[in-house]
Amino acid sequence: MGVALDRVLSQEEIDNVFRNLQDKDGGGEDQKRAQPYDFRRPDRIAKDQLRAIHLLHENFARTLASSLSAYLRAYVSVNLVSVEQLSFMEFVQCLPSPTIITALAMKPYDGSAVLEMNPSLVFPIIEMLLGGNGKVTAQRIEREITEIEQSIMEGVYRIILRDMREAWETVTNFDFSIEGRETEPQMLQLLAPNEAVVAVSLEVRLTENIGMINIGIPSIIIKMLRQKFDSQWLMRKTEASEDEQNRILKLLQPALLGVDARLDGPTIRTKDLMELEAGDILKLDYDVNRPIRLSLNGLSKWYGQIVDNGRKRCFALESLVPLDEGLNQR
């Protein structure tokens, strides 16, 4: 038996009902709620590009360690610490003050990268280049670098930029060059504060000293290279494994090749050839000791001699025809 309800709900009771329903529907599904978006945050680049940049700078770290060890005649280790995307303001705030900052041109692309070397690394290097043992007190590190000391560091910068250029050759040809120097990060105005950069941090160990090298590359240039990163990844993926190469070789083994052993003589005009008569002598100018070329499908491959095994004529292989010579004599 039903019970008729003629009671009218108040506005507060109605609000409580809807509030309870919203709490039940939204429980445990916070991930579906709208998140505030900060339009000042930098656009993100693809994770696969960051991984590629990470691998690229791991190679750069190994090469730089060898180059600096040879240049300074001391053991130097370089380790990649991190590769991440930050705003330019965040990148600058992470740098010590004072420090040694270098602005780098990235021709043929418009834009500048930032290379920062900690004083705890720069001053021991200068000490070693001037004949010392690389031990520097904290008082000598906490100061700005002089112009003379900057000139002493030119050789180190050339090594770093050369190794960076070689590391990036797998993606594109950057022509890194020094545009300017600064000692206070807050004075650096190469990019807008909210513009994104890819920050690469390297830890350098030199004798008893540990310092950081920080590199900031504008993200907009990395985005422009997306297609080249994809091409590099595709080339790596298309490299056949040893098993795949053996499988392809097995498929090619039944293929037939045309084999010719010929005496390559001089050329003759068609007119002279048509006028040849019985008794005429045609001089070939081919030395009897000169090796004969063996061609595979018209491509010269081997040098050797015609021999006889008693029943058939054979070709005895002596040496391989160089590839460029074989293509020219095809």
pLDDT tens for 38-94 read 555 555 677 778 888 888 899 999 999 999 998 988 889 999 999 998 888 888 888
DSSP 253: T
pLDDT exceeds cutoff 70 at 147: yes
pLDDT at 324: 61
Question: HSE of 327 in the Cβ direction (CA atoms, 13 Å)?
Answer: 2
What are residue 147's phi and psi, to 5 degrees? -65, -35
> Which value, to the nearest 10 degrees, does the dihedral of the CA atoms of residues 268, 270, 275, 278 take?
60
Using alpha carbons only, how large is the chain's radius of gyration in Å? 36
Q: Which residues pair with 40 in a beta bridge?
A: none
Using 50, 70 and 90 to split pLDDT, how confident is the model at 158? very high
Tokens representing residue 27 in the block = 């429980």
Of residues 106 and 37, the one with the higher pLDDT is 106
pLDDT exceeds cutoff 60 at 162: yes
Q: What is the mean pLDDT of the chain?
A: 80
d(C-alpha 80, C-alpha 203), whole Å? 6
Q: Are 293 and 329 in contact (CB under 8 A)?
A: yes
Fold held by 47-236: Chemotaxis protein chec (3.40.1550)
Q: How large is the average pLDDT for residues 161-181?
A: 88
Q: Are 315 and 261 in contact (CB under 8 A)?
A: yes
pLDDT (tens digit per residue) in 318-327: 888 876 665 5
Distance of CA 180 to the CA centre of its chain: 25
Positive or negative, the CA dihedral 325, 328, 329, 330 is: positive
pLDDT exceeds cutoff 60 at 236: no
Fold held by 256-328: Surface presentation of antigens (SPOA) (2.30.330)
Range(s) of the chain covered by CATH 2.30.330.10: 256-328
Using 50, 70 and 90 to split pLDDT, how confident is the model at 3? very low
pLDDT exceeds cutoff 60 at 256: yes
